[in-house]
Every structure is written in structure tokens, then in C-alpha cells.
Chain A
């Protein structure tokens, strides 16, 4: 049984005068511990797919099973629980709370599962160490560089030790070398056992993955596996 099983997944946006099919019957399986990159032209449905995998959104049609649990059967609170516990999301635009310190941003997921104050502090500090920001705990996002902000976002994504790390163009707002640093960090996390799914435009980034899924017009165009060794 795979960690992620997607079958004939459709996402249709009703725009009133027309219907936009962002996804048109996607089938895929992702195993625990895999590192998958998703590529495709703009508007091909990459973000839509990531949002569905991350339980931020629900499909119009088809099934999505996470850990053998049909997501369609879950109510709002259960979806929130999955987002909290099973998923760590890294966004292109960081999505940090601007007024909170880096440490507080990282603590946030733990607040929503009732972790005690001390344990929260401890876990958040450890996550900040992992992303190499042990000395930036009390900085606010606007006092950090773009790369550092994205590191905070990564720390927040991993603080709950989720089953899956999802990153939707995590380097999209960063220069190449900073982007590479973030990718290196994510790759480290993958090596230490996390399942990792990254959306990117750049083949140079995607090629580090075990597998690249190419999307076009809401469908899987092709898949490319990394050569063993």
C-alpha cells in the first residue's frame, strides 16, 4: 500500500460562464520515503494537485487515499488534523505570520495540537537548529532574508514530524544559489526519512528527485525515473 494513492482525480472550477478543469483525471502513487518532483507549464495544475494532496482543497471527482484513508470521507476538523499532523507545506511566498517571531511561527502547528508549552518551545528550537537558524529565533520575518524566511517555513513544515513534506515552488522567490541551499535542505530532510514532493519549473532542481512527474493541461504527460546509482 502506497502512502499516497490518487485515482482519476478531477478538479473543476466553476467560473459561471465556463468550467475550468484544472485537473483532468490524474492517477498516481507515491511511496513512503520517495522524493518526487512535479513539473509542467504554468497553469498545468501543479498547485492544484499539491493543494489536494495537502488536504487544503477537496477534489471535484475521483479518490485520494492518504495512509489508506479516503480523504473524501473526512470532515473539516479531520482535514485540519491531517494538515497539522501528516503534512508539512512549504509555499513559494513563505506564508509566515508577519508579526510573530521566527520561533513563534515554527511553534504554530504545535499550538493547534495542544502540545505543552515547554515541549513546543523545545521542538521549535530543534527545528530552527535543523534549518540552520539557531541564531535567528527572535527575528521577525521582515528582519530575515528571503532564504532565511523560507528556512523558517521549512522548520515550521517539519516541526510536527509529518508524513509528507510538500513544497510548491519553494525556490520561486529566491535567487539561484539561495534556492539551491533550500533544495539542499529539503534533500537532507528526504535523506533523513521524509517523503518529499516538490513543484518546480527548473529541471536542474527536479533532477535531484527520485522521480519527476510532468503535468500538462491537468493530466500526467509522462514520468521520468532517476537512473539507479
Chain B
């Protein structure tokens, strides 16, 4: 056998073309076909953008809802007549329950040692007016003086009402910034009077601005002592809530149990019957919310994923065109010693670089669009790690998945056929 002298006898033959070299080849091919590459990129961008927009929006929505619920605080629970109603049946059952009353609250004050703070609250809508300036259907809360100790809202100017004012059914009102804007035309309202459902009240304080949540202005409210509220509007019935702050966060379950047995006894609930009231905490409201929205979230992401598939098909199509157009190139490479996997990796890298590029742009675009849409309903959207990871991994997956077939096809071309391709 002829012994051949070799220049690079120590070079391992099996060594793969380096990743760097493959990337270089792919990048130059992408650059050489700029227009086609841009088209591919576009297909991916559309898909990734829509998915990431949806994901970012959902995340922001969930996060903002969570923030909202968490304002209740981790040690607080709310006792209501209705609780979370998920069916008509439940609604009618709850309708038959006895109303919660201030007597229930008093019973807790007497019998619940771990209830550090107990407040009550009722809501309605009412008309407010000063001179010829007024607002209709303003959210009006009647509250015990200690509500502010439990629920997270802050006094901006002036003060909230005192226990004495509560006891004396004083006509004092604590107002939201929107009322200052709309009714007092931005002037300092403290000490001035305004009319609530035709009754004259003195403004004692203004709440700190909270902005809006999902398009709901949270600053358009007034709060008056519950005692005064009962006198004017009648005793609050269905919608009286009792809010309890447990003395410790860890002890919240025991505090709930104490409150529960006191209320059951007072309201004459039989041993085997279920509670005729509901206890809500930030946690169980959140998990309820998560549960009811889960299906919708999955559906939204699922629907938007269709556009990813469309993007993937664009990649596949354009890669197929690319393979056909470059059949001769593939033939040349094979004729001088490129292996199947070299060709495969080359085309796969091309698909991957395009889809990853599209993924990066699409992720950024998706977050930006979600942020713009969010700002319309005052929903703060921030770039989340999850959205970024999702965007990049989806696009990588799409590139590999849809680039695989064209790359395989390219790698399996017969060198002679490929070389004689016109």
C-alpha cells in the first residue's frame, strides 16, 4: 500500500468543525441573503411578540392584583356574609344567612383575645356636592375609626376620624384626592364643608393618592364614621364586613378559629352545620383568583402560541427555499469533505441564529407593547425574568424544531445530484 506523506498527520480526522466556524458560516449566509433573513426574522418576531405581550400582560395583571390584595396585610382577615360566591346556588344559600352586625363585632371584641384590632366597614354609592360642583355615585365607606389601623391606606393631609367622633356620630368626612380635584377644584379642603346625599359634612383629611387599578380610579371615594353612616343611610345589612387583625401573622389561623367559634355560638350555628359567614384572607382570595383565571391564562397563551407556530412555519419555508437555492453550495461542500452533520449544523445554526435574533427582538417588543397597553389602564408592566426566559427559549425551540427538517434535507443531499443542480 502506498504510504502517503501528510502535512497534518497528527490532526484528528473526526474533529468537528468548530462551533465558531459554523456560526461564521451561518452568519455570512444570513448576511448574504439579507432580505430573506429579514423576512424570517419578521415571522419569528410576530410570533414571539404576541406571546410575550400576553405573558407580560398576564404577569402584570396577576402581580398588580396580588399587590392590591396584599394591601389587606398578612395578619388580617375579613368576615363577610357572602364570601367568594362561585355559583347561583351558593348565592341563594348565602342570601338566607343572617346579616353580620355590629353585635357580632362586639362579641368578637369581648371573646377573641388574639383579635388585636377589629373594625367594621360598609359601602354604598352617594352624591357629593359643594356649591355647584359635585360628583355622583362616589364610593362611600362607613367605617369604624380603627379601620385605618388595619387596611393599608394612608393619610395625605389632615387626619382620619377619632373614636370620639365615631361615638358622637360626627358629620366628618375623609376624602380621596379625586374629590379634592373635582369638588374643591384643587384647593385645600380641610375644615371646609361639603354635602353627602344632601347632608353637610366637614372635611377632616385627604387620603394619599393611590392611582388607579385596572382602569378603576381608587382615589374617588369618601369615608365617614359608620355610626353616622347608619344614621343617614340606615343600618348596613348585607354588606357589613368585619375586619380583624390578628396579633401575630403566624397565629392568623388560630385567631380565625377563635373568631369562628365565637360567631358560630352567637349566631346559633349547629355543631354539624357549616359557617353562616365567610372568612377571607389575602391568601385565599389570591388562590381563588389564581384558580378562576388559570384556564383563561392558559387559553390566552395557547392562542397566542399559534402565531409562534406560524413563525416556525415561516422559518421552515424560508429555510427550504434557502436549501434549494444553495443546493450547489451544499454539493461543493460535500464534494470537498463536509459530512452530513457539518451541513446539518450549518443550516441549523442559520435557523437558530435567525429565530434567536427574532426572539430577542420579539421579547423586547412584546414587553414594550404590554407596557404601552398597560399604561392605558394604569397597569405597571415591568420586564420579567419569566417573560425573557420564555421568549428566548420559545424562539430557540422554534428554531431547532422548524429548522431541523430543512437542515436534515440539506445534509442528506447526494453530492453528485447537488453539484449538477441547476
Contacts and interface: CB of A to CB of B under 8 A. Distances in A.
Interface in A53-101: 54, 56-57, 67-68, 76-77, 80-81, 83-85, 89, 91, 95-97, 99-100
Contacts of B333: 108, 112
Contact of B336 (A114, A115, A123, A156): A156
B336 A161 contact: no
Contacts of B337: 80-81, 83-85, 109, 112-113, 160
A45 to B, nearest CB: 14
Contacts, number: 93
A112 B332 contact: no
A144 interface: no
B325 to A, nearest CB: 12
Interface residues of A, number: 36
A160 B17 CA distance: 16
Contacts of B16: 114
A198 B190 CA distance: 105
Given A89-B335, A115-B11, A163 B340 contact: no
Given A95-B419, A111-B21, A123-B7, A56 B1 contact: no
Nearest to B340: A76
B162 to A, nearest CB: 82
B416 A56 contact: yes
Contacts of B339: 76-77, 80-81, 112
Contacts of A21: none
Contacts of A108: 332-333, 336
Contacts of A100: 28
Interface string A120-155: 000100000000000000000000000000000000
Contacts of B342: 112
A3 interface: yes
Interface in A1-49: 1, 3, 32
Query: What band does the interface of chain B fall in when counting residues whose beta carbon is under 8 Å from A?
Result: 35 or more
Contact of B13 (A81, A96, A97): A81
A189 B8 CA distance: 19
B338 A3 contact: no
Given A89-B335, A96-B332, A111 B17 contact: yes
A96 B328 CA distance: 10
B15 interface: yes
A123 to B, nearest CB: 7
Interface in B356-373: none
A173 interface: no
Interface in B272-286: none
Nearest to A161: B7
B7 A80 contact: no
Contacts of A68: 1
Nearest to B1: A68
B385 interface: no
B234 interface: no
Contacts of A178: none
Contacts of A161: 5-7
Interface in B321-348: 328-329, 331-342
Contacts of A51: 416
21 contacts: A3-B2, A54-B335, A57-B415, A76-B340, A83-B334, A83-B415, A84-B338, A85-B337, A89-B336, A95-B335, A97-B332, A109-B337, A111-B21, A112-B339, A113-B11, A113-B337, A114-B16, A115-B11, A119-B8, A160-B7, A161-B7
Interface of A: 1, 3, 32, 51, 54, 56-57, 67-68, 76-77, 80-81, 83-85, 89, 91, 95-97, 99-100, 108-109, 111-115, 119, 123, 156, 160-161, 163
Q: Lowest 5 A-B CB distances belong to which pairs? A: A84-B337, A114-B15, A32-B2, A80-B339, A112-B337
